Structure 1
């Protein structure tokens, strides 16, 4: 049995330096001064294992790096290793139960100490600690051991044949932590290690000088970075907060910053900003999906934290007629037009890309308010007292609808609230600052992981072009709870024995076509059984200054994946 990668893009097997894809620019490290990066969703932590928020994962990627990652075409490329292991080059065993990584010799942490296989093994132990809560636990699914025969060799062993062994230590979501720095931060102590979580030592092109959570991060060039003359910038000012409009203006109109992430703005607004001539938008479609998550627990505030995290039937969202009617009432083409224009597409699926794994089971591009009303009526949800709110068996369709704060999401909330109220719901809207909503603070009641609402809306994506780890987010045992420090990827607390069994089949299936079909079926189970309501397949839309060179928008990994290659374009 051979490892097959045709499903989701080729693996780069040659021993290329990770930055070989960038334009060559000679000169001294730090020659171009400062670069300003603006993420209007402000980072709150620099440890990707303690946050599922994109803002935290991507800001950390300037410092923390994986063994391999995905380039802008979706191709798996070596990063801290000499080549990507495959069956063909002997790095993956014939029986697909082990993968052996060979670390590039001579790598240093930013503090000057050697980067070794012991750090890689420590990262595995850190994330899989039974008393901890690791936001990236699915990356290590099926791993039984990580061994280190020598300082530059890492052998990962799986419990069975694993045709796609590139979950652990691959992509921006699964970087390597320094064992020496995090040694006393295992298990339940992980969230308490503020200094390590805010100021990680890394192998990346920059190192942290000062981190002000939910505000500003100051980085400086890592003098121990492995490539001479890189990074071109001596420092980074990484500003968080504000909103997407201000971020876009700061790059494309005023020129105050060099890069603005996630410009969730209407198309006409982007065009007006670009016309100012200071910068330009860059966009690309990956697997980013704006969705409404459906709570599979009872979010009643009268229940304590433990009770509110237990997978149990929701008072009304456990009825398929209810969530299917909710979906039917939504005008997705209008949402695309209002929110994204050409940077959005209607989506009926949890996994909207790459094409090989996109299901064609569902259609959802036509709104049907009357059909939604009839569906609820037939299921026994009626407005018996004329107050406009349907009820059944003493349960009323009263809903708390939460999301993060930004103009597009509040527009979506207003529209969807109106449609749902037309079919018999009472809808209360709530929005929280994005730094809080996506922050992962176990003490906050407003994080998307705690999900103290009936439904919540946000976007999520995954690294790479194989959705296996991402689909693992819906496994029963991945639900956030107090026992996991409220970390975990199964935000809806969706639980299906059929799903879990089929996912196990995916992890042991080698044939590309078969893997694609299984992925589609897993997608369908979640949609059909009330895990979420997909809305919009979003393109990633960011902007950079005209004077900033080397930027290659990457929809398959961190947008900042090649920040070491950025440089200032000189003008006469």
Structure 2
């Protein structure tokens, strides 16, 4: 497609004559990445209204829909989006807080608190990609009646990037040099360098009110009552919260979108397990929505036969992976185990890491446990497809693992357990409590036993494992084990944030209250260099190639063992209509949910 043809196609998209999905597919087939296609669409200016995936909001008035009941088997434990280390907490926050924009299912941006998506045509996007102006929606108020303004946007950047705040969202602003107030309802984002993916990570970050958080910036950040009693701009106001148990929101009658929301109350119930959640929506109809149905596919299909609900598969960028601790969880340094600077006494050996990778039956996990909910993979980055490496292959081979261990000098002792230099191959393997994950643990343990490796299995309640409780030793951020397994969410079509999980400056530690993204503590100078280079690379093909190099580097080193590319799996009541996206939080679209008569 030459330049003239591209311009004509963009004009057809703008007028509504060419479906946006068809335009995206054409450019992806030519080799462009989804983020770059999105950038072209945003740069083209306003587009004729089109529904996302055919979804159309039908209610003609606000309220009247009664109560919508959501079941999260991992209950939210806090309601400050800047401290949300797990999706469960982000889901709770998104009931009340909103971002500038959110990603739809087809990978496009739609405005939320922004008045429009910046583009070259509307003057928002600078030609050199070094800055972007976001115009804010007028007439938006916080739930306490205070106006939402540019000061709030600037404050959130200041709050998140203050080291003493120790916010998990600090990395969202990594590329941002500063945020300037243009006027009461416009801000300029100035990047450190030209930004090829200028929507970045900041634009979909939920915003908190300056007037309630400014007194608690920095070292006082954990003392703010609003951490548990949110005051946002969203379609629902805070009504009640019991950490790990329930969240309740009531309709915000002054919400800034006409005729929305449809439901009068939102009830989120936490706890239980994924099977119970699936049954409550698909079979009994007690709830309208169930999140993250990490359930064996055969059982999901049987439950769907109950006729009360349906399973929805939402492709995104999630990946279930096994992590070997780069640091030493058995040594304490200044009151901290698995401290940066320490090294795991056994996993330092590349041969042992290679053997561990050979002892994971990824295909078996897909075929017999996950089904539709997981595709075996050797890659940490799996979607969009242009970022997916074709250089890596996975292999399950117990005999080969034994040969590798033999050659590396690991000898079998009493009971067949291998050891070397007096150190036995005996490891603590932890994950969250979930039937499917415990079956994965059992499968991996069985294979390891055949190779002379003993695994002690530990299952931690999900609300604890994924929490940011600095006093709890069982969180995955502390990683006080030799191995752990969990799913991470990419959250947007660009993999930048996903790959940020392995840069050295994001290592989880006591100094950042264990909120750094790099939980495995892996450190590699070449990876850091590639990440910084990709951050400033404007050529989409070169940028994708750099990200593939990063994927290959971390996966080949063996501390990160990808298991399954996981689409989001949700359960919906038959009459519930909701524009869900694999790139965005489900509760972030609550304003658009409705129940058919």
1:566 maps to 593
Spell out the pairing of 1:372-391 with structure 2 (5 A cutoff): 372-383=401-412, 385-391=413-419
Residue deviations 1:48-91, cap 9 Å, x none?
21122011112211211111110011112222112222445432
Spell out the pairing of 1:313-462 with structure 2 (5 A cutoff): 313-364=343-394, 366-383=395-412, 385-462=413-490
Deviation at 1:386, TM superposition (A): 3.5
Task: Give the Cα–Cα distance (whole angstroms) in 2 for the partners of residues 526 and 169 of structure 1.
Answer: 25
Deviation at 1:304, TM superposition (A): 5.1
1:217 maps to 247
2:317 maps to 287
1:253 to 268, 283, 294: 283
Deviation at 1:307, TM superposition (A): 4.9
2:126 to 76, 87, 93: 93
1:36 maps to 69
Q: Structure 2 length normalisation: TM-score?
A: 0.91
Deviation at 1:157, TM superposition (A): 1.4
More helix by share: 2
Task: Give the Cα–Cα distance (whole angstroms) in 2 for the partners of residues 104 and 28 of structure 1.
Answer: 21
Deviates further, 392-401 or 239-248: 392-401
Task: Give the Cα–Cα distance (whole angstroms) in 2 for the partners of residues 269 and 472 of structure 1.
Answer: 35
Higher RCO (Cα < 8 Å, 6 or more apart): 1
Spell out the pairing of 1:488-527 with structure 2 (5 A cutoff): 488-527=516-555
Deviation at 1:18, TM superposition (A): 10
1:56 to 80, 89, 97: 89
Deviation at 1:314, TM superposition (A): 1.0
Residue deviations 1:163-214, cap 9 Å, x none?
112224322xx11111111112212322232x21122111111121011000
| SS of equivalent to 2:230 | coil
- Cα gap change, 1:547 to 1:501, in 2 (>3 Å): same
Deviates further, 9-18 or 557-566: 9-18
Residue deviations 1:230-271, cap 9 Å, x none?
100000110000011111111111111100011111112111
- Cα gap change, 1:158 to 1:486, in 2 (>3 Å): same
Deviation at 1:292, TM superposition (A): 0.7
Deviates further, 62-71 or 10-19: 10-19
2:507 maps to 479
Task: Give the Cα–Cα distance (whole angstroms) in 1 for the partners of residues 540 and 238 of structure 2.
Answer: 41
Aligned partners of 1:317 and 1:323 also within 8 Å: yes
Aligned partners of 1:76 and 1:464 also within 8 Å: no
Task: Give the Cα–Cα distance (whole angstroms) in 2 for the partners of residues 293 and 86 of structure 1.
Answer: 40
1:104 maps to 137
Deviation at 1:394, TM superposition (A): 2.6
Deviation at 1:17, TM superposition (A): 11
2:163 to 130, 134, 138: 130
Task: Give the Cα–Cα distance (whole angstroms) in 1 for the partners of residues 215 and 50 of structure 2.
Answer: 33
Task: Give the Cα–Cα distance (whole angstroms) in 2 for the partners of residues 19 and 53 of structure 1.
Answer: 32
What value does the CA root-mean-square deviation take over the aligned residues? 1.9
Q: Structure 1 length normalisation: TM-score?
A: 0.94
Spell out the pairing of 1:61-80 with structure 2 (5 A cutoff): 61-80=94-113
Residue deviations 1:419-438, cap 9 Å, x none?
11211212111111000000
Aligned partners of 2:579 and 2:593 also within 8 Å: no
Residue deviations 1:351-388, cap 9 Å, x none?
11110000111111x310010111111122222x3332
Aligned partners of 1:68 and 1:169 also within 8 Å: no
Deviates further, 525-534 or 305-314: 305-314
- Cα gap change, 1:316 to 1:19, in 2 (>3 Å): farther
1:234 to 261, 264, 281: 264
Aligned partners of 1:390 and 1:397 also within 8 Å: yes
1:182 maps to 213
Task: Give the Cα–Cα distance (whole angstroms) in 1 for the partners of residues 50 and 470 of structure 2.
Answer: 37
Task: Give the Cα–Cα distance (whole angstroms) in 2 for the partners of residues 284 and 201 of structure 1.
Answer: 30
Task: Give the Cα–Cα distance (whole angstroms) in 2 for the partners of residues 196 and 239 of structure 1.
Answer: 21
Aligned partners of 2:181 and 2:188 also within 8 Å: yes
